[in-house]
Amino acid sequence: MQYWRAGRNAYQRGAIKLPWGGGQQPVDVITLGDAWLTGAIRQKLIQPLDVTAWSEWENLPLAWRSLVQRNAAGLLDPQGPVWAAPYRGGSTVIAYRKDRLEALGVEIHDWEDLWHEKLKGHISLLNDPREVIGLTLKSLGASYNTADLSAVAELKPKLAALDGQAKFYSSNHYLEPLLLEDTWVAVGWSGDLLPLLQRDRHLALVYPKSGTALWADLWVQPRGTQPAEAPAKTALLNDWINFCWTPKVAQLISTFSDGFSPRALELAGDWRQSLLQPEILLPEGERLARSEFIEPLPQASLDQYQALWDSRA
């Protein structure tokens, strides 16, 4: 097994290089971040999977099943094949320093609070147009996946105002400044931020009330690494995917990793109380219902996002 994941806007980076081939020993399955799925499909790096062998497939929430059902261009398609098996997920959240914000008399509950005048110059944002434009859209009551940005008249000035609040943009180096108090607020991924709560008691996380972006880690099968004469390997892969979706393993993934299993969303019981920040790791109710995966969009829409992103300068 190998692991490959990076920023949410990976689909805009042109050709991607996944960790197999080039003389390496072939692998039967790797884990891939959902942001890379479109590129992997378009470049024919992975192959469709057989959902008929998955006993737990129908027990996954619809949004998670829809995420991996795509056409050959990597766009969502309810009639397309299934390209991946989602086994773990998380969300984009807001981290802040309680000591600093309490001194300012500022509270954070939702995206709108990032525009508070007292936070100007103290915020780090992800260096990702879909994430930052998306949270701005969310603050205006729109979707992360808005296809026509010109339809949201308030978007450009609202994004410009948020840019004025930011100290810097980074998707890889935003944790240390928060720990060192160089920033007081950071927008980041729950998988990065949850472990920090055990290192610094002055940190807190917020799952935005209006909803947020979800991310998923996926099992995928590299194209060409599965010999046609070896169906036993495919059976083993399907057994592994089914195993990851069993209730017991779903609880273990949610308890001992920095994400949650999509199967765990449907599981009741006291086990949730043992989670670190269950309201962040495994959200329930309206906040989760208002959240959404960042979906692949047509190129014309992506060009709008990039043009708006570039206009900040």
Tell me the per-residue pLDDT of 54-91, one tens digit each, with 9 for 90 and over: 999 999 999 999 999 999 999 999 999 999 999 999 99
Output the six-digit token pair for 169: 């943009």
Indicate if 125 and 175 belong to the same structural domain.
yes
Q: How far apart are CA 108 and CA 285, in angstroms?
A: 19
Band of residue 5 on the pLDDT scale cut at 50, 70, 90: very low
Q: How far apart are CA 59 and CA 263, in angstroms?
A: 7
Band of residue 26 on the pLDDT scale cut at 50, 70, 90: low
pLDDT at 15: 47
Indicate if 164 and 177 belong to the same structural domain.
yes
Indicate if 203 and 96 belong to the same structural domain.
yes
Indicate if 303 and 241 belong to the same structural domain.
no
Indicate if 170 and 220 belong to the same structural domain.
no
At position 249, the amino acid (one-letter code) is V
Indicate if 155 and 181 belong to the same structural domain.
yes
User: Does residue 124 contact residue 174 with C-beta atoms inside 8 Å?
Assistant: yes
Indicate if 9 and 62 belong to the same structural domain.
yes
User: Does residue 58 contact residue 52 with C-beta atoms inside 8 Å?
Assistant: no
Indicate if 82 and 231 belong to the same structural domain.
yes
| Residue 25 pLDDT > 60 | no
Q: At what angle do helices 299-310 and 155-165 cross, to 10 degrees?
A: 50
Q: How far apart are CA 175 and CA 211, in angstroms?
A: 22
Indicate if 197 and 137 belong to the same structural domain.
yes
Indicate if 204 and 217 belong to the same structural domain.
no
pLDDT in tens, 117-126: 999 999 999 9
| Residue 16 pLDDT > 80 | no
In a domain, 84, yes or no: yes
pLDDT in tens, 179-224: 999 999 999 999 999 999 989 999 999 999 999 999 999 999 998 7
In a domain, 290, yes or no: no
- Domain count within the chain: 2
In a domain, 149, yes or no: yes
Indicate if 106 and 82 belong to the same structural domain.
no
Task: Look up the CATH number of the domain holding residue 202.
Answer: 3.40.190.10
User: Does residue 42 contact residue 18 with C-beta atoms inside 8 Å?
Assistant: no
pLDDT at 168: 98
Picking from 63, 133, 88, the residue whose alpha carbon sits closest to that of residue 290 is 63
Picking from 149, 169, 155, 144, the residue whose alpha carbon sits closest to that of residue 305 is 149
Read off the pLDDT of each residue in 37-49 and give the average, rounded to a whole number. Answer: 96
Band of residue 27 on the pLDDT scale cut at 50, 70, 90: confident
Q: In which domain, by residue range, is 269 found?
A: 2-89+213-282
| Residue 3 pLDDT > 60 | no
Read off the pLDDT of each residue in 235-249 and give the average, rounded to a whole number. Answer: 94
Read off the pLDDT of each residue in 164-177 and give the average, rounded to a whole number. Answer: 97
Indicate if 168 and 190 belong to the same structural domain.
yes
Strands of the chain (E only): list them.
Answer: 2-4, 30-33, 46-47, 85-97, 123-125, 166-169, 185-189, 203-206, 213-222, 292-293
User: Does residue 245 contact residue 56 with C-beta atoms inside 8 Å?
Assistant: yes
In a domain, 287, yes or no: no
